[in-house]
Structure 1
Amino acid sequence: MNRDHVLHVINTIYEKVFNEGRADLYPAFVSGPYIQHNPLFPNGLDGILGYIKQAGRIPCEVKRVAIDGDLAFVHVRYLEWAGQETAGVDIFRFDADGKVVEHWDVLQPVPAASQNANTMF
């Protein structure tokens, strides 16, 4: 798997698909069967694509990316996810052709106050 290609796919998903609301671009980066581990969405492209289309723009900032073999880990600041700022980690598994075939995510609302001076990002 080509690391530069994976970074291009990730950058396009977050900058174009999410930040600009270009849901139409997402299918080009996915190969089926698309396995979804978020319990709110079914397997396959239709569920997540429908959500992205309905949401329109999903403003976010990618804070860091790590790639390990066929997995990419993306630490994201979602500026407004379900009505509030949210810290997220998306994990994508890529096939040999550089397409997303599996997705996991972990989402945590950013609290108004913290017990330390560190940020979640």
Structure 2
Amino acid sequence: MALFPLFFAATLAASSTAAATPTPAAIGSASASPTAATAVLSPRGQEALLASPNRRLAANKRLVFDMYRIVLQAGDTARAHEFIAANYVQHNPNAAQGLAGLIEYVKSTRPVRPVLDHLEIPMIHIMAEGNFVTIAFARPETDSTGQHYVTTWFDMFRIERGRIAEHWDPMLRSDRKIDPNKQKLP
């Protein structure tokens, strides 16, 4: 009988910890499109998600977040080596391997912009587990009939020795190259 109060206390502690963790509002049903107000984290919300009681996980999230801000959002490829390993493994079929491949891809898809302290692309969440960091975004698109809709984009990174060593995303070989910074929510 003493196990029930222990189970109840552990469940209560877990639920109060989860409630204190900053998360974006519900996105909605499959038929509803998220809006900027319900899907996207504010700069303060983005910063809050970088925190973790585990220093290594917090450092991994910060590495990915800063790489996004500086290299992918601002297009500052001169600083890419600060974040990306020279032997970087790329699973996006439209980009070449290695640090040089990432630099070429970024240069071919976006202009250089000012570095901001937050992401302007509509970030939903960032999470870290072990040596992996996954970041999710709301991605506005237009279908072949001109109808606007919002889907989800993700990037997953493997961290090794303080650098991003590997990357996955859902890009298809048939997808056109895009500047994700132009993807704005209506």
TM-score > 0.5, shorter chain as reference: yes
2:162 is aligned to 98
2:28 is aligned to none
Change (3 A) 1:78 1:56: farther
Question: Displacement, 1:49?
Answer: 0.8
Question: Displacement, 1:9?
Answer: 1.2
Q: How many residues align?
A: 105
Equivalent residue for 2:136, pick from 49, 67, 75: 75
Higher strand share: 1
Question: Displacement, 1:63?
Answer: 1.4
Q: Amino acid of the residue matched to residue 100 of structure 2? A: D
Q: Deviations over 1:65-89 (max 9, x none)?
A: 1111111111023568xxx976311
Equivalent residue for 2:101, pick from 47, 50, 57: 47
Q: Amino acid of the residue matched to residue 128 of structure 2? A: I
Higher helix share: 2
Preserved contact between residue 14 and residue 60 of structure 1 (Cα < 8 Å): no
**CA distance in structure 2 between the aligned counterparts of 1:79 and 1:26, rounded to whole angstroms:** 27
RMSD over aligned Cα, in angstroms? 2.9
> Larger deviation: 85-94 or 28-37?
85-94
Preserved contact between residue 2 and residue 98 of structure 1 (Cα < 8 Å): no
Q: Amino acid of the residue matched to residue 11 of structure 1? A: F
Preserved contact between residue 85 and residue 98 of structure 2 (Cα < 8 Å): no
Moved over 4 A (4+): none
Give the number of the structure whose alpha-carbon radius of gyration is greater: 2
**CA distance in structure 2 between the aligned counterparts of 1:19 and 1:34, rounded to whole angstroms:** 19
Q: Amino acid of the residue matched to residue 87 of structure 1? A: T
Q: Amino acid of the residue matched to residue 77 of structure 1? A: A
1:9 is aligned to 63
> Larger deviation: 5-14 or 58-67?
58-67
For normalisation by structure 1, the TM-score amounts to: 0.70
**CA distance in structure 2 between the aligned counterparts of 1:94 and 1:37, rounded to whole angstroms:** 15
SS in 1 for 2:170: strand
